[in-house]
Amino acid sequence: MVNLKTAEEINLIRQSSLLVGKTLAEVAAAIAPGVTTLQLDAIAETFIRDHGAEPGFKGYNGFKHTLCTSVNDVVVHGIPNQTPLLEGDIVSVDCGVKWNGFFGDSAYTFAVGTINNEVRRLLEVTRECLHAGIAQAVQGHRTGDIGFAVQQHAEQHGYGVVRELVGHGVGRNLHEAPEVPNFGKRGTGLLMKEGLVLAIAPMINMGTRNVKQHRDGWTVSTADGKPSAHFEHTVVVREGKAEVLSSFEWIEKILAGKE
For 63-76, what is each residue's pLDDT tens digit?
999 999 999 999 99
Q: What's the chain's average pLDDT?
A: 98
pTM > 0.85:
yes
Measured CA to CA, the distance from residue 231 to residue 127 in angstroms comes to 6
Is residue 137 over pLDDT 90? Answer: yes
Residue 147 banded pLDDT, cuts 50, 70, 90: very high
pLDDT at 259 over 90: no
Model confidence at 213: pLDDT above 90? yes
pLDDT tens-digit profile of 164-179? 999 999 999 999 999 9
Please determine, for residue 214, whether its predicted confidence score (pLDDT) is greater than 90. yes
In the chain, the amino acid numbered 218 is: W
User: pLDDT band at residue 203, thresholds of 50, 70 and 90?
Assistant: very high
Residue 25 has pLDDT above 90, yes or no: yes
What pLDDT is attached to residue 244?
98
Question: Could you give the percent of the chain with pLDDT greater than 90?
Answer: 99
What are residue 102's phi and psi, to 5 degrees?
-130, 150
Task: Walk me through the domains of the chain, giving residue ranges and CATH numbers.
Answer: 7-258 (3.90.230.10)
Nearest to 107 by CA among 244, 10, 232, 217: 232
Q: What's the pLDDT tens digit per position in 13-22? A: 999 999 999 9
